[in-house]
Chains A and B, each alone.
Chain A
Amino acid sequence: MTKTIVVTSGKGGVGKTTTSASIATGLASRGFKTVVIDFDVGLRNLDLIMGCERRVVYDLVNLVNQEASLHQTLIKDKRVENLYILPASQTRDKDALTIEGIARVMHKLKKSEFDYIICDSPAGIEKGAKMALYFADEAIITTNPEVSSVRDSDRILGILQSESRRAKMNDDPVKEHLLITRYNPGRVQEGQMLSVDDIVELLAIPLLGIIPESPTVLDSSNAGKPVILDQTSLAGQAYSDAIDRLLGESKPHRFMEIEKKGFLKRLFG
């Protein structure tokens, strides 16, 4: 049974592509056949984050327009077995996508026995974002602890609840997960940043994970390697925890507090 998960946020720059790359990589390394689709037609970047930018030949629009086969379009990841990337087109715009076209692609992926389809949504609430979330069974709402991001997340939740296929067909609602990224417990403790509890209370959806702000995220995108593959990094470990929870395991949340410092360190910073 194929599960379709959209990674969305409304706001740009909060970590949707980073999250899509790590979630897809994490699921594939647990043995699930996984494809991650870039819906950001015209501004593709998933290929860069996944490190396969030089291997793109055909793209989502070619596939939708039946100019290339699924086999020709999918890029097989070189590091992780069972992982495939479906890049967006860089030369077209979002009008090139239609619900019918995407439905055909989804159908083909289901027939190819994928366990997970991860949809990396573009920012905004326009056509591209609506296409990305339309077929979702579950949604990962990527949110930064920051006012505009929280507001936009609530807006996108409204769209999920009214404009997804599940909403329109009166099916069970899309299962929502909150993923807080770029979290800085130190600043939360200083009262300068919204806390996990604040955000959970405001958005009122279950928490999937907290990804701490970490320099390794930038290092990983520089190298074109999903951060989850770096298990020495706290962000990488946090994504692994999120995968466990996505698969139904209950795991206590980490990275909510700053690491305990000794007396001398507290005194002299």
Chain B
Amino acid sequence: MGIFSFFRSRQEPRSASLAKERLQVLIAHERSDRDGPDYLPMLKQDILDVIKKYVAIGEDQVVVQLDSQENCDVLELNITLPDGTEISPKDDPKQSAAKTAKKSRVT
């Protein structure tokens, strides 16, 4: 610290406070995943298995997330159906045109 910085005002943008804010958000989010109910992975697997009976779908195409809000928990299912999916039980050919990104919310 030399003669110039001695007289300069110290009020520059503080990267440390930015780091702290980012970490606060991130750590809270990651802890909520980690502290979520034990059944969540099993629930996800079951949902995936049911969908797989009808549509060829990958593990990462079903996102199950539990968020806590003020007075209720929101279970969000985000299922991405691939283009031109074949439905294995051949009874309803129209549904094979199911397009991407169907979102359903269960509260």
User: Which residues of A does B touch, CB under 8 Å?
Assistant: 146-147, 150-151, 154-155, 158, 162, 188, 190-195, 198, 202, 266-269
Contact = CB atoms under 8 A, between A and B. Distances in A.
Which one of A147, A151, A155 has the highest number of Cβ atoms from chain B below 10 Å of its Cβ? A147
B6 interface: yes
Nearest to A261: B1
B91 to A, nearest CB: 44
Nearest to B1: A269
Contacts, number: 50
A193 B23 CA distance: 13
A194 B2 contact: no
| The 6 A-B residue pairs with the shortest CB-CB distance in the complex, in nearest-first order | A191-B14, A269-B2, A158-B34, A198-B20, A191-B16, A154-B27
A202 B16 contact: no
B6 A202 contact: no
A154 B31 CA distance: 8
B31 A158 contact: yes
Contacts of A150: 23, 27
A147 B15 CA distance: 11
Contacts of A191: 12, 14-17
B19 to A, nearest CB: 5
A268 B16 contact: no
Contacts of B31: 154, 158
Contacts of B2: 267-269
B70 interface: no
B106 interface: no
Interface in B1-26: 1-3, 6, 10, 12, 14-17, 19-20, 22-24, 26
A151 B3 contact: no
Contacts of A268: 2-3
Given A150-B23, A151-B27, A266-B6, 14 more contacts: A147-B22, A151-B23, A154-B27, A154-B30, A155-B30, A188-B16, A191-B14, A191-B15, A191-B17, A193-B16, A195-B16, A202-B23, A202-B24, A268-B2
A194 B12 contact: no
Interface in B22-74: 22-24, 26-27, 30-31, 34
Contacts of A266: 1, 6
A3 B27 CA distance: 30
A78 B30 CA distance: 45
B26 A192 contact: no
A269 B14 CA distance: 22
A202 B27 contact: yes
20 contacts: A147-B23, A150-B23, A150-B27, A151-B26, A154-B27, A154-B30, A158-B31, A158-B34, A192-B14, A192-B15, A192-B16, A194-B19, A194-B20, A194-B23, A198-B16, A198-B19, A266-B6, A268-B3, A269-B1, A269-B2
A191 B16 CA distance: 5
Nearest to A146: B19
